[in-house]
Amino acid sequence: MFNPSSTQNQTPASSPTSSPIARPARRIAFALGLCAAAAAHAAGPYTLTDLGSKTFGHGMNADGVVAGEVNYNNVTAAAALWHPDTATWTTLRLGWTAYAVNRAGAAVGNDSNHQTLDTAIRWSPSGVPHALRPDISFSNASDIDDAGTAYGYYYNTTDQRYHAVTWTGDVATELGCPDGYQCAAVTGNGHGVIAGNVMEIFGPLTWPALVQDGQWNLLPTRGGCGAVYGVNARGHVVGSACQDASGFTSHGFIWKDGRVRDLGSLQRDWNSIALAINAHDVIAGQVQQPGTLSKAAVWEDGTWTVLADVTAGSEGYQFSQAVGIDATGRVLVNASGPDGKVHALVLTPVVGN
C-alpha cells in the first residue's frame, strides 16, 4: 500500500526523478547535459552506427528497432522508426513523437503538433495512427508491450490530476491512484508487471511504484523519492532513486526478486540513472559527476562502463545517455555529433568479444 509519510519533506534529486513520464524525461536529461566518467569494464568493444544528424532516440525494442524522431529540433521533428535490417528510418508523422515500439512493429507516442494539448497515439505495424484519448485535453502513451498493451496517462480537467491508464485496443483501463496524489503508468511487460510513478499534486516529489491488485505499492528505494523508467520480460524494473533526504544524489536501481538493488555510481557523490534493461539484466543509462557533462553508460554485473571508452569511432561525439538496449546487447545512445547536432547512435557489440 502506498505510504508517503516518510518522504514528505524530501526534495528530489537533480535528475529526471521529478518527471512523471519516462521518455520525455530522457529528452530533458539530454538537454541539461548531465553526467560523468567511468571505470574499466569488460563490456564492449562496440562498433558505432550513426542514425543521422538531428535524430533522437527514445526507445528500442528487443530486436533493435528504434522509436524516435528525425530532424530533431523541438519544432519540425517527425516521429519515426529506425530499422536495423535496412539501416533506414520510416517517418510516421511530422510534428509527432514516437516513444516506444514493440516487436510486432506497433509504436506509441503523442501528437505533439498540439503543443499544449497533446494526444496519446498508437501506430499500427503498417504505420496507421490512432488517437487513444481524442476526448481528453492532454494524454500520452510512453510504452507498449509485445502483447499490444499501451501504458500512459491523461490529464483530467475535472479533478485537475494526472490519471494512470493502459490501453488494450480501444479499451482504456483506469489504474487508480492513492487519494490525494496523481499517477502515471510508465511501462509494463505484458506478463502482469505494471510500473509507474506516484506524484504530488502541487509539489515536485515522485515515487516509483508497482501497480498490484489495484493498488500502488512503493518500491522501497533508499531515499524514498525516485522514478521508474523501464522493465524487462522477466519483470525486473529499473529507474532512479534519491539516495538521502537532501535529494542531491540519485542512483539507478533495479527491482527484482522482491527487493531493490542500488546500482551505485562511480564515486560517492556522483549520480547514475537506469533508463532501460534487456532480458539479460544489462542496463542502459548514464552516470553523473555533478556540474559536468553526462556520459552514456551501461551497467552489468555490478559495474558501470562509459560507452565512449569502449566504442570504435567515438571520437568527435559526446555520448550523453543510453536510452535503450536490445536482446543482443545493442545500445541506443543519444549524442552530440562532430557537427554539433543531436545524433542517435546504435552501438553493436563486437561478435566474439
Q: Which CATH number goes with the domain that contains 17?
A: 2.130.10.150
Dump pLDDT digits (tens) for 96-127. 999 999 999 999 999 876 555 689 999 999 99
Is the omega angle on the peptide bond into residue 45 within 30 degrees of 0, that is, cis?
yes
Give me the pLDDT at residue 31, please. Answer: 40
What is the Cα gyration radius of the chain? 18
Dump pLDDT digits (tens) for 184-202. 999 999 999 999 999 999 8
Give me the pLDDT at residue 99, please. Answer: 97
Give me the pLDDT at residue 224, please. Answer: 81
Q: Which of 112-116, 149-153, 228-232, 320-324 shows the lowest mean pLDDT across its residues?
A: 112-116
Give me the pLDDT at residue 36, please. Answer: 31
Unique residue bearing C-alpha cell 499534486? 201
pTM: 0.88
Q: Which domain holds residue 178?
A: 4-349
Task: Write the DSSP symbol of residue 71.
Answer: S
Mean pLDDT of the chain: 86
Categorize the per-residue pLDDT at 82 as very low, low, confident or very high, splitting at 50, 70 and 90.
very high
Task: Write the DSSP symbol of residue 311.
Answer: B
Is the per-residue pLDDT at 37 higher than 80? no
Categorize the per-residue pLDDT at 75 as very low, low, confident or very high, splitting at 50, 70 and 90.
low
Is the per-residue pLDDT at 352 higher than 80? no
Is the per-residue pLDDT at 213 higher than 70? yes
Q: Which of 22-36, 122-136, 165-179, 274-288 shows the lowest mean pLDDT across its residues?
A: 22-36
Dump pLDDT digits (tens) for 247-286. 678 999 999 999 999 999 877 788 999 999 999 999 999 9
Q: How far apart, in Å, do the first and last CA atoms of the chain sit?
A: 45
What SS3 state is found at 254? strand
CA 42 to chain centre: 25
Reported as type and span, the H/E element at residue 173 is strand 171-174
Dump pLDDT digits (tens) for 154-164. 998 888 899 99
- Quick one: cell of 213? 491488485
Which residues, other chains included, contact 163 with Cβ-Cβ below 8 Å and sequence gap of 6+? Answer: 153, 154, 155, 156, 174, 175, 177, 182, 183
Region 319-337: what's the mean pLDDT?
Answer: 97
Residue 185 phi, psi (nearest 5): -80, 125
Region 124-139: what's the mean pLDDT?
Answer: 88
Number of domains in the chain: 1
Unique residue bearing C-alpha cell 522508426? 81
